[in-house]
Structure 1
Amino acid sequence: MMIYELKNGKRLSIRRAQERDAKELVEMYNKLGMESDNLTFGVDDYYLNVDQEKNLIYNLNNRDNCIYLVALIDGKIVGNLTFIASQRKRLMHRGEMGIAVLKDYWNLGIGNSLMDYFFKWVQSTEKIKKVELQVREDNIAAINLYLKWGFKFEGKISKGIMVNGKYYDLYYMGRTIGW
């Protein structure tokens, strides 16, 4: 576990997700689906139930090239970061990162803190050589965070996501590690 001080002076704890977090995570995802149009799911569209979330946490915790992080303020989960890499030998060195923060906690530095913890883990594993992600073209705050952490634009997925009947392009971004 690592502790960070946020812009509002509160303390943020970041640690690996545990199976006991599954119910709170599913609730957080369902709330996020109502709050943000930047995610791949909307209201009542998160695809895992509590048991499936427990299984995901268990599986990711038992793989050395994946991580599932939770960010907590006063013991409440307010955000997370997942990194899921392949089990195929030719692809084990790369994976996709996703990050989400509840709207009430935007602009406090939680995303930056999650990235700090994540990249410290990446350096410690020496297994991960490429981090990839997709971000909606108009999610400027997220794009700026990713650029700050060394991500580069690698492509664009035209009409990559549809929200409320409108299509948006997705930027494909990546960061190589140690090359």
Structure 2
Amino acid sequence: FNPNDTLLIAMYDGVIVGTAGLHVESAVRRRHVASLGMGVADSFSGRGVGTALMVELMNLADNWLNLLRLELYVYADNAAAIHLYNKFGFEIEGTHRAHSLRNGVFIDTYSMARFHPKQPQVPLMSR
């Protein structure tokens, strides 16, 4: 058990059809950040499971944990997940080429992030 982790399970007729997790960073300088992970059974895609899980995670992040930044990785070819994350304010920040191995093939992933909607936008630091 890690007190910095929240795990949610979506069930239908006693069967797990989706899971989601929010993992708050433990390092002092990154406690304002959490990473997000989610999975929905293919047979339940497009039926609101992902949206319901995201609503609960965003409520927790914004209203209870006061997190500034949420981060995630998503396969670049997962249009449904990217659409869901965009709906909740996530934006693509970068592409990781050949980041993951899936079925024997290296695929790209996107790094996406969302800032707390009631916090002022954080400016980019000049280099």
Letter in 2 for 1:132: E
Matched, 1:144 2:83: yes
- Deviation for aligned residue 1:72: 1.2
Query: Which of 99, 108, 123 is the aligned partner of 1:169?
Result: 108
Q: Kindly indicate which of the two structures has a greater share of residues assigned to strand.
A: 2
The aligned runs of 1:88-103 (5 Å cut-off) are 88-103=27-42
The DSSP-based 3-state class of the residue aligned with 2:77 is coil
The DSSP-based 3-state class of the residue aligned with 2:54 is helix
Q: Kindly indicate which of the two structures has a greater share of residues assigned to helix.
A: 1
Name stretches of at least 5 consecutive residues in structure 2 with no aligned partner.
120-127
- Per the normalisation by structure 1, the TM-score is 0.62
Cα deviation code 1:45-93 (max 9, x no counterpart): xxxxxxxxxxxxx32xx33xx3111111123221110111221111111
2:17 — aligned with what? Answer: 78
Q: C-alpha distance in 2, partners of 1:175/1:104?
A: 28
1:132 — aligned with what? Answer: 71
Cα deviation code 1:5-28 (max 9, x no counterpart): xxxxxxxxxxxxxxxxxxxxxxxx
Letter in 1 for 2:96: I
Q: C-alpha distance in 1, partners of 2:65/2:7?
A: 17
The aligned runs of 1:22-171 (5 Å cut-off) are 58-59=1-2, 62-63=3-4, 66-171=5-110
- The runs of at least 4 consecutive aligned structure 1 residues that moved more than 3 Å come to none
The DSSP-based 3-state class of the residue aligned with 1:90 is helix
How many positions carry a matched residue from both structures?
Answer: 118
- Deviation for aligned residue 1:144: 0.5
- Deviation for aligned residue 1:99: 0.4
The DSSP-based 3-state class of the residue aligned with 1:128 is coil
